[in-house]
Amino acid sequence: MKVTRPPALDISVITDDLVNEYLIGYRLKGTSYFHYDQLRHRITPPEKLDKLWEYLKLARLLSASWLSAKVWNEAMQQLVPPFVNNTATIQKSCSTVDRLASSAAEKERYERFDGAEYLMDELRAAESIASSQLEGAATTSRVALEMIKVGRQPRDESELMIMGNYRLMQYVSQRGLKKFDINEILALHRMAVEGIDDTKYTPGVLRQEEDDVAVVDHEGSVVHAPPPANVLPEALAHLCEFINLPHETANDENYLHPLVKACILHFFIGYLHPFRDGNGRTARALFYWYMLKCGYTAFRYISISKLLKNAPSQYVRAYLYTETDDMDLTYFVNYQCEIVSRAVREYIDYIQQIIETRARLKQWLYESGIYADLNGRQRDLAAIAIHQPGVLFTAAEISKRMKVSENTARDDLKKLTALGLLRRVKEGKGNVYLSPKSLREMKRWSHRTDSPRSTQDW
């Protein structure tokens, strides 16, 4: 079999010192995907910077994947297709979620510790809480978690935001493979914000021309003016077509890794800003739906908003870099992939801490002789308590979360209290049960008198 050899590359024609400087000083060192605004602080004089930018821009345009969806280009005053490039950060993040966030990885992981289902409920709520806090909810994570756990009615706008976001996240985790249309995007928004302040949010209704909607920074300066309201129906129609295309199974240039596509979906809603308020929550819910739809079940428990709210200016800047550079989505996707990788690693570290703590608890229960006094459900409850330091439990909550009667739940809590694994605290006319702050405190509680505690009258 004969194959025609390509002509040799004559590198002698590449004589510009700037190209060599770029290749040696930046590209071959794995330098980040810099925006012009970042490069201007690193390269002087301005003429040198502008020349380098020409080379960079041409290389990026030639290597890019162009998308079928369209976004509004303010400079051109029309909808244009955006593009995205691959980077080392994006590739590493895709590999991370493939290895650590798939349903197979999850199944193996949860077989290694007791009380997994209960504890995962705590993590399910984390994204709903953090996403709402990113949008301005003032409720603390602990108060919000207690509200969700016990099913208490929200008491103010912040709690209503969190509960609405929790409903939305529950929905997208169960939504499945149904195709998207504009009505479904409206439904996601309605589910997130309905009942908070309907005059302010107008649930499930696209913003109108008269709505004064803009993204502002902490000083009140406008950093993003969304596209005109009259282009939203067309732009969202393009987006829905893009959502429904099976990019993850394509065998050609249309292939997109699910993580890359999920980040792109996140960007589109945030950039188009189709609603008066609640756009960020809707955008992140769409991200989660797509990751779960593609089999990355760990994203039921992984919170990206916890990290985004720690550096909101970087989140906004990722949007601005894309918007100011001809809709090059690489800036936003690259930043989001960094966030996702960190969130996955934090999740894995958290699970590992659970496993290690459970092992120490189990060993101590055996050595102390307590293990034989507990049934499997009570051991699970002790394991849950040790990993939720200083948290109050109620019989009603345990009944609901562990699917037993309230009397059985109350008996379990009383027995663990009699053995010194929990402490009873009076609240109103009833009792709640406090978990220890550490295994060391649990040991101290269980041996805090000279005589071993009896369970005869629990």
Q: Is 425 annotated as a binding residue?
A: no
Q: Is 156 annotated as a binding residue?
A: no
Residues 320 and 438 in one domain: no
Q: Which helix (H) or strand (E) holds 422?
A: none
CA distances from 358 to 256, 364, 384, 432 (A): 39, 10, 9, 23
Higher-pLDDT residue of 28, 426? 426
Q: Is 342 annotated as a binding residue?
A: no
Instruction: Please tell me the distance from the alpha carbon of residue 217 to that of residue 144, in angstroms, as a whole number.
Output: 26
257 is catalytic: no
Burial (CB count <10 Å: 0-12, 13-18, 19+), residue 151: exposed
Q: Report yes or no: 269 and 350 within 8 Å, Cβ to Cβ.
A: no
Residues 93 and 148 in one domain: yes
Residues 238 and 327 in one domain: yes
**Range from 206-215, 223-232, 259-268, 435-444 that averages highest in pLDDT:** 259-268
Q: Is 295 annotated as a binding residue?
A: no
Domain membership flag for residue 241: yes
Domain membership flag for residue 153: yes
Of the candidates 31, 47, 63, which is a domain's last residue? Answer: 63
Residues 204 and 123 in one domain: yes
Q: Kindly state the average pLDDT of the residues 221-229.
A: 81
- Choosing from 35, 238, 247, 273, the catalytic residue is 273
Residues 98 and 75 in one domain: yes
β partners of residue 216: 222
What share of the chain in percent tops pLDDT 90? 26
Q: What average pLDDT does the structure give for the chain?
A: 81
CATH number at residue 398: 1.10.10.10
Does residue 266 surpass a pLDDT of 90?
yes
Does residue 403 surpass a pLDDT of 90?
no
Q: Is 19 annotated as a binding residue?
A: no
| Domains identified in the chain, total number | 3
Does residue 256 surpass a pLDDT of 90?
yes
pLDDT value for 120? 59
Could you read off the pLDDT of 110-160 as tens digits, one per residue?
665 555 555 556 666 666 666 666 666 656 666 666 666 656 777 777 788
Domain of residue 212: give its range: 71-348
Residues 263 and 181 in one domain: yes
Residues 79 and 59 in one domain: no
